[in-house]
Structure 1
Protein backbone atom coordinates (compact mmCIF):
# COMPACT_ATOMS: atom_id res chain seq x y z
CA UNK A 1 0.00 0.00 0.00
CA UNK A 2 1.12 3.51 -0.85
CA UNK A 3 0.74 6.63 1.28
CA UNK A 4 -0.31 10.06 -0.04
CA UNK A 5 3.21 11.45 -0.41
CA UNK A 6 4.45 8.42 -2.37
CA UNK A 7 1.33 8.37 -4.55
CA UNK A 8 1.80 12.04 -5.46
CA UNK A 9 5.48 11.47 -6.26
CA UNK A 10 4.48 8.59 -8.54
CA UNK A 11 1.83 10.77 -10.22
CA UNK A 12 4.20 13.65 -10.92
CA UNK A 13 6.72 11.15 -12.35
CA UNK A 14 4.24 10.36 -15.16
CA UNK A 15 5.63 11.63 -18.47
CA UNK A 16 4.52 15.23 -19.06
CA UNK A 17 3.23 15.85 -15.52
CA UNK A 18 3.10 19.47 -14.36
CA UNK A 19 1.61 18.81 -10.94
CA UNK A 20 -0.63 16.52 -8.93
CA UNK A 21 -2.91 16.73 -5.91
CA UNK A 22 -5.01 14.51 -3.70
CA UNK A 23 -8.25 16.37 -3.03
CA UNK A 24 -11.19 15.97 -0.66
CA UNK A 25 -14.19 16.97 -2.78
CA UNK A 26 -16.50 17.38 0.21
CA UNK A 27 -14.39 20.31 1.47
CA UNK A 28 -12.40 21.31 -1.62
CA UNK A 29 -9.16 21.03 0.34
CA UNK A 30 -6.01 19.52 -1.11
CA UNK A 31 -4.69 16.84 1.25
CA UNK A 32 -1.38 16.96 -0.58
CA UNK A 33 0.17 18.58 -3.64
CA UNK A 34 3.34 18.26 -5.67
CA UNK A 35 4.58 20.34 -8.58
CA UNK A 36 2.74 23.31 -9.97
CA UNK A 37 4.45 26.66 -9.50
CA UNK A 38 3.84 30.38 -9.15
CA UNK A 39 1.74 30.40 -12.33
CA UNK A 40 -0.08 27.17 -11.50
CA UNK A 41 -1.41 27.03 -7.92
CA UNK A 42 -2.50 23.47 -7.19
CA UNK A 43 -4.58 24.53 -4.19
CA UNK A 44 -6.66 26.80 -6.44
CA UNK A 45 -6.92 23.99 -9.01
CA UNK A 46 -8.02 21.57 -6.27
CA UNK A 47 -10.78 23.89 -5.08
CA UNK A 48 -11.97 24.67 -8.61
CA UNK A 49 -12.00 21.06 -9.73
CA UNK A 50 -14.02 20.17 -6.65
CA UNK A 51 -16.85 22.17 -8.24
CA UNK A 52 -16.44 20.15 -11.45
CA UNK A 53 -16.70 16.85 -9.57
CA UNK A 54 -19.69 17.97 -7.51
CA UNK A 55 -21.51 19.20 -10.62
CA UNK A 56 -20.95 15.91 -12.46
CA UNK A 57 -22.04 13.80 -9.47
CA UNK A 58 -25.16 15.97 -9.08
CA UNK A 59 -25.95 15.72 -12.81
CA UNK A 60 -25.65 11.93 -12.73
CA UNK A 61 -28.06 11.83 -9.78
CA UNK A 62 -30.58 14.05 -11.62
CA UNK A 63 -30.33 11.80 -14.66
CA UNK A 64 -30.82 8.71 -12.54
CA UNK A 65 -27.56 7.19 -13.76
CA UNK A 66 -26.48 4.35 -11.50
CA UNK A 67 -22.92 4.27 -12.81
CA UNK A 68 -19.65 5.48 -11.29
CA UNK A 69 -17.30 8.14 -12.60
CA UNK A 70 -13.89 6.69 -13.41
CA UNK A 71 -12.24 9.91 -14.42
CA UNK A 72 -12.97 13.32 -15.87
CA UNK A 73 -10.78 14.74 -18.63
CA UNK A 74 -10.44 18.44 -19.31
CA UNK A 75 -8.53 19.22 -22.50
CA UNK A 76 -6.94 22.64 -22.82
CA UNK A 77 -4.87 24.01 -25.69
CA UNK A 78 -1.59 22.90 -24.14
CA UNK A 79 -2.58 20.68 -21.22
CA UNK A 80 -4.67 17.73 -20.13
CA UNK A 81 -6.22 17.83 -16.66
CA UNK A 82 -7.22 14.42 -15.33
CA UNK A 83 -9.48 13.95 -12.32
CA UNK A 84 -9.58 10.37 -11.01
CA UNK A 85 -12.24 9.68 -8.36
CA UNK A 86 -11.04 7.18 -5.77
CA UNK A 87 -13.28 4.17 -5.31
CA UNK A 88 -11.62 2.21 -2.52
CA UNK A 89 -13.10 2.40 0.96
CA UNK A 90 -10.35 4.62 2.36
CA UNK A 91 -10.59 7.00 -0.60
CA UNK A 92 -14.32 7.79 -0.52
CA UNK A 93 -14.87 11.49 -1.24
CA UNK A 94 -11.38 11.94 -2.69
CA UNK A 95 -9.91 12.42 -6.13
CA UNK A 96 -6.47 12.44 -7.67
CA UNK A 97 -5.83 15.44 -9.88
CA UNK A 98 -3.09 15.41 -12.50
CA UNK A 99 -2.10 18.19 -14.90
CA UNK A 100 -0.08 17.16 -17.96
CA UNK A 101 1.70 19.03 -20.75
CA UNK A 102 -0.15 17.88 -23.86
CA UNK A 103 2.93 17.78 -26.10
CA UNK A 104 4.88 15.55 -23.68
CA UNK A 105 2.13 13.28 -22.34
CA UNK A 106 0.62 10.00 -23.45
CA UNK A 107 -2.97 10.34 -22.25
CA UNK A 108 -3.81 6.63 -22.36
CA UNK A 109 -0.67 5.75 -20.40
CA UNK A 110 -1.31 8.53 -17.86
CA UNK A 111 -4.84 7.21 -17.23
CA UNK A 112 -3.46 3.70 -16.80
CA UNK A 113 -0.78 4.88 -14.37
CA UNK A 114 -3.28 6.94 -12.33
CA UNK A 115 -5.48 3.85 -11.98
CA UNK A 116 -2.49 1.86 -10.74
CA UNK A 117 -1.68 4.62 -8.22
CA UNK A 118 -5.32 4.66 -7.09
CA UNK A 119 -5.32 0.89 -6.60
CA UNK A 120 -2.29 1.02 -4.31
CA UNK A 121 -3.18 4.22 -2.40
CA UNK A 122 -4.12 3.87 1.26
CA UNK A 123 -5.37 7.12 2.80
Structure 2
Protein backbone atom coordinates (compact mmCIF):
# COMPACT_ATOMS: atom_id res chain seq x y z
CA UNK A 1 0.00 0.00 0.00
CA UNK A 2 1.38 3.43 -0.91
CA UNK A 3 1.82 6.30 1.54
CA UNK A 4 -1.15 8.13 0.01
CA UNK A 5 -3.49 5.14 0.21
CA UNK A 6 -2.34 4.38 3.77
CA UNK A 7 -3.14 7.94 4.84
CA UNK A 8 -6.56 7.76 3.14
CA UNK A 9 -7.32 4.48 4.91
CA UNK A 10 -6.25 5.99 8.24
CA UNK A 11 -8.61 8.91 7.68
CA UNK A 12 -11.45 6.40 7.29
CA UNK A 13 -10.97 5.36 10.93
CA UNK A 14 -13.99 6.58 12.90
CA UNK A 15 -13.22 9.95 14.49
CA UNK A 16 -9.99 10.60 12.56
CA UNK A 17 -9.04 14.28 12.47
CA UNK A 18 -5.71 13.96 10.71
CA UNK A 19 -2.86 11.60 9.96
CA UNK A 20 0.79 11.93 9.01
CA UNK A 21 3.73 9.70 8.16
CA UNK A 22 6.77 11.25 9.80
CA UNK A 23 10.54 10.76 9.71
CA UNK A 24 11.56 11.15 13.34
CA UNK A 25 15.22 11.65 12.47
CA UNK A 26 14.47 14.87 10.60
CA UNK A 27 11.00 15.76 11.91
CA UNK A 28 9.74 16.06 8.34
CA UNK A 29 6.42 14.63 7.16
CA UNK A 30 6.45 12.27 4.18
CA UNK A 31 2.70 12.69 3.86
CA UNK A 32 -0.15 14.46 5.65
CA UNK A 33 -3.92 14.22 5.33
CA UNK A 34 -6.62 16.03 7.30
CA UNK A 35 -5.94 18.53 10.04
CA UNK A 36 -6.94 22.14 9.54
CA UNK A 37 -6.90 25.44 11.44
CA UNK A 38 -7.43 23.67 14.78
CA UNK A 39 -4.80 20.99 14.08
CA UNK A 40 -1.60 21.93 12.24
CA UNK A 41 -0.38 18.42 11.35
CA UNK A 42 3.05 19.58 10.13
CA UNK A 43 3.70 21.29 13.47
CA UNK A 44 2.25 18.41 15.49
CA UNK A 45 4.27 15.84 13.52
CA UNK A 46 7.50 17.75 14.06
CA UNK A 47 6.77 18.16 17.77
CA UNK A 48 5.97 14.50 18.20
CA UNK A 49 9.38 13.54 16.85
CA UNK A 50 10.69 14.80 20.19
CA UNK A 51 8.23 12.55 22.03
CA UNK A 52 9.45 9.49 20.10
CA UNK A 53 13.11 10.38 20.56
CA UNK A 54 12.66 10.99 24.29
CA UNK A 55 10.92 7.65 24.79
CA UNK A 56 13.62 5.82 22.85
CA UNK A 57 16.33 7.48 24.97
CA UNK A 58 14.47 6.49 28.12
CA UNK A 59 14.17 2.86 27.04
CA UNK A 60 17.88 2.80 26.23
CA UNK A 61 18.77 4.38 29.59
CA UNK A 62 16.68 1.78 31.38
CA UNK A 63 18.41 -0.99 29.45
CA UNK A 64 15.11 -2.28 28.08
CA UNK A 65 15.41 -4.26 24.87
CA UNK A 66 11.86 -3.39 23.82
CA UNK A 67 10.32 -1.80 20.75
CA UNK A 68 7.69 0.90 21.14
CA UNK A 69 4.35 -0.36 19.80
CA UNK A 70 2.58 2.95 20.18
CA UNK A 71 2.44 6.07 22.29
CA UNK A 72 -0.90 7.53 23.36
CA UNK A 73 -1.43 11.15 24.30
CA UNK A 74 -4.86 11.79 25.77
CA UNK A 75 -6.29 15.31 25.64
CA UNK A 76 -9.66 16.55 26.81
CA UNK A 77 -11.27 16.16 23.38
CA UNK A 78 -8.70 14.22 21.38
CA UNK A 79 -6.47 11.17 21.30
CA UNK A 80 -3.09 11.44 19.61
CA UNK A 81 -1.70 8.06 18.63
CA UNK A 82 1.93 7.63 17.58
CA UNK A 83 2.96 4.32 16.03
CA UNK A 84 6.66 3.90 15.16
CA UNK A 85 7.17 1.61 12.18
CA UNK A 86 9.28 -1.51 12.50
CA UNK A 87 13.02 -0.81 12.51
CA UNK A 88 13.37 -2.47 9.14
CA UNK A 89 11.71 0.63 7.67
CA UNK A 90 13.88 2.93 9.77
CA UNK A 91 12.98 6.10 11.56
CA UNK A 92 9.32 6.54 10.60
CA UNK A 93 6.11 6.77 12.58
CA UNK A 94 2.42 7.08 11.84
CA UNK A 95 0.71 9.88 13.74
CA UNK A 96 -3.09 9.81 14.04
CA UNK A 97 -5.24 12.42 15.76
CA UNK A 98 -8.73 11.31 16.78
CA UNK A 99 -11.84 13.00 18.14
CA UNK A 100 -12.40 11.38 21.54
CA UNK A 101 -16.17 11.61 21.32
CA UNK A 102 -16.39 9.87 17.95
CA UNK A 103 -13.63 7.27 18.10
CA UNK A 104 -12.99 3.86 19.57
CA UNK A 105 -9.37 3.83 20.75
CA UNK A 106 -8.98 0.05 20.71
CA UNK A 107 -10.27 -0.21 17.14
CA UNK A 108 -8.13 2.73 16.03
CA UNK A 109 -4.99 1.10 17.47
CA UNK A 110 -5.85 -2.19 15.78
CA UNK A 111 -6.47 -0.51 12.41
CA UNK A 112 -3.28 1.56 12.61
CA UNK A 113 -1.28 -1.60 13.33
CA UNK A 114 -2.81 -3.29 10.26
CA UNK A 115 -2.05 -0.25 8.10
CA UNK A 116 1.55 -0.30 9.26
CA UNK A 117 1.95 -3.88 8.07
CA UNK A 118 0.49 -3.00 4.63
CA UNK A 119 2.51 0.19 4.10
CA UNK A 120 5.23 0.14 1.44
CA UNK A 121 7.81 2.91 1.82
TM-score tier after normalising by the smaller chain length:
over 0.9
Pairs aligned (count): 121
1:98 corresponds to which of 93, 96, 99: 96
RMSD after superposition: 0.7
Unaligned 5+ runs, structure 2: none
Could you say if the C-alpha distance between residues 51 and 88 of structure 1 is closer, same or farther in structure 2, counting changes exceeding 3 Å? closer
Normalising by structure 1, we get a TM-score of 0.96
3-state DSSP of counterpart to 2:14: coil
The 2-side partners of 1:84 and 1:65 are apart by 18
The 2-side partners of 1:75 and 1:40 are apart by 15
Report the Cα offset of residue 40 of structure 1. Answer: 1.0
Residues 33-78 of structure 1 show CA distances to partners (whole Å, capped at 9, x for unaligned) of 0000022110000100000000000000000000110000000000
Residues 72-107 of structure 1 show CA distances to partners (whole Å, capped at 9, x for unaligned) of 000000000000010062x21000000000000000
The corresponding residue for 1:6 is 5
